[in-house]
Structure 1
């Protein structure tokens, strides 16, 4: 009897294990991929001030960020380096591109001959001032450690301002999402860590130029500032900085609404009865307003079951991103009502967008259009 019971126990245990493994590998529940890039490494030390090493601090923070994100069952973390090794700028971007990552976060420490302090997070773009250019030049100089860097980076000279003039905004289609993540990071640094906020900025970082997903470069503080350098070199400081980055990634992920796939079976779609439309007295000629629910590299079926019961969802591929819109109307009053409904459904970070024909324009420009 005991033998039979034991055999049944083993059978059911194996059955449950196989079912669990099958669920974990379900391609329908595709994971959100984050690439964590610890700046510098190996023969490239980065900034070295007051006995503090950028490459070591960046790695410590990157590993802490990755360890926390790995606790999330729907997130996959990939590191460009997990030890003190040298990785080229192009190599870092290739890792992210090969993984078809949803986010790329590069972590660095700043330095300056003054006692400057504070955090700043960069997205790719043309530098707006000499300080931004100086930071980009310093981070890009690492290519001189690479063989055949002239060919790899198409003759780019990190020490020549003229090279930056010709820098095209390769990430233009991801700029909106990159700025969103950068802003979330800066707000956490400021509000939670109480660091000096130097803002979200644009500059010509080669590592960002080569990536094909929303990407940011974080300068978590100045090692050249004695008090801030000590903070960044401490375990407490590194933990605090990493927690703010993790919180920003989580908030960004939630705003992209990728988790909508997880409760599809548990929450079947409900057919809603449409209310009678309100009179449209504010119709704008040639303008279509929509509510943007999500923007992601994942291609989803725009059906009600995937969007919490919303039935008028459309999908449009813009660059490498799929964007999901709710409703379509020329009435600004009606789209405001749609926006409120989307927020009630849980899309708190949704917002109104406007189109003139197939061209996306700002809502302000749309509202300047003549009404019918």
Structure 2
């Protein structure tokens, strides 16, 4: 009897494992199907979001490339930007700055050259950017920048043109605008200087003192910013600080002067083949 009981127990034991194995196989199959379904759903959702992100990234890139271009979705054709895209790089150099006040109006010792030229330089920057030009400022606030560093900034940027903005001073009677260029780069530099001078003259200045070679008092020596920059350049002396007529004209026509300088730069770039006509 004892032996029979043992035999029955063994039979029952084998049947239990058989069912467990079958149940595990079925469970594994069900779990596999569920996992496959979940993965498929997640993949579909992720794909949808990926498409949205890609579209948004393209829209954002278009917005950065052209600040005036609207952000568009993939269902619309991008509107053309009113701002031209050009490969022209210009350095605008506001003279002096910081501890270097530049020329000081002897009739008003709070009137500094560094402030006037920065105001004008920022306006020139704005006008050039409206044309799609990449503008590099040697300074855009009241800080001191050495002449060496101004030249380094321009050369390392591989700029196409360089324009330095100043105001003049004379111990006596003198007025008007003059522009200085490198006496060893006569053709391109003179073209740049003359185009700017023509615009300033039309905008309204007390006297056109011409485009000059070299350095004031010595045509054989160049201003450092003209001598040590690798690209066509000029230095503008926009009126005399001690002359009230020049000061009044500067304040009155500052916006026009900025437009004239920017237009002169643009005209030169076209004539030198730096941008398409």
Q: TM-score, normalised by structure 1?
A: 0.50
* 8 Å CA contact 2:162, 2:232 repeated in 1: yes
1:79 aligns with 2:137: yes
One of 30, 33, 36 as aligned partner of 2:89? 33
Q: How far 1:193 sits from its partner (Å)?
A: 2.1
One of 191, 196, 216 as aligned partner of 2:207? 196
Q: How far 1:120 sits from its partner (Å)?
A: 0.6
One of 241, 253, 257 as aligned partner of 1:237? 253
Q: How far 1:225 sits from its partner (Å)?
A: 0.6
Distance 1:99 1:196, change over 3 A: same
Calculate the aligned-residue CA RMSD, in Å: 2.7
Task: Determine the structure 2 residue equivalent to 1:212.
Answer: 230
- Identify the structure with the greater strand proportion: 1
1:89 aligns with 2:100: no
Give me the whole-angstrom Cα distance separating, in 2, the residues matched to 1:121 and 1:241: 14
Aligned counterparts, 1:1-372, within 5 A: 10=52, 13-14=55-56, 16-17=58-59, 20=62, 31-49=87-105, 50-51=107-108, 52-73=111-132, 75-125=133-183, 172=184, 174-203=185-214, 204-232=222-250, 234=251, 236-260=252-276
After superposition, give the CA deviation of every residue in 1:191-213 in whole Å (9 maximum; x if it has no partner): 23244110000122122111111
SS state of the match for residue 198, structure 1?
strand
Task: Determine the structure 2 residue equivalent to 1:370.
Answer: none
* 8 Å CA contact 1:220, 1:241 repeated in 2: no
SS state of the match for residue 35, structure 1?
strand
SS state of the match for residue 171, structure 2?
coil
Unpaired segments ≥5 residues, structure 2: 1-44, 67-84, 215-221
SS state of the match for residue 48, structure 1?
coil
Give me the whole-angstrom Cα distance separating, in 2, the residues matched to 1:22 and 1:117: 44
* 8 Å CA contact 2:206, 2:246 repeated in 1: no
SS state of the match for residue 235, structure 2?
strand
Give the number of aligned pairs.
204
Give me the whole-angstrom Cα distance separating, in 2, the residues matched to 1:21 and 1:227: 45
Distance 1:95 1:115, change over 3 A: same
* 8 Å CA contact 2:95, 2:165 repeated in 1: yes
* 8 Å CA contact 1:208, 1:217 repeated in 2: yes
- Identify the structure with the greater helix proportion: 2
Give me the whole-angstrom Cα distance separating, in 1, the residues matched to 2:58 and 2:256: 40
Task: Determine the structure 2 residue equivalent to 1:278.
Answer: none
Q: How far 1:18 sits from its partner (Å)?
A: 7.0
Look at both structures and tell me which one has the larger radius of gyration over its CA atoms. 2
Give me the whole-angstrom Cα distance separating, in 1, the residues matched to 2:147 and 2:57: 46
Give me the whole-angstrom Cα distance separating, in 2, the residues matched to 1:30 and 1:55: 30
Distance 1:22 1:218, change over 3 A: closer
Q: How far 1:21 sits from its partner (Å)?
A: 7.4
Distance 1:201 1:20, change over 3 A: same
After superposition, give the CA deviation of every residue in 1:27-65 in whole Å (9 maximum; x if it has no partner): xx8721100000011111111012221000011001110
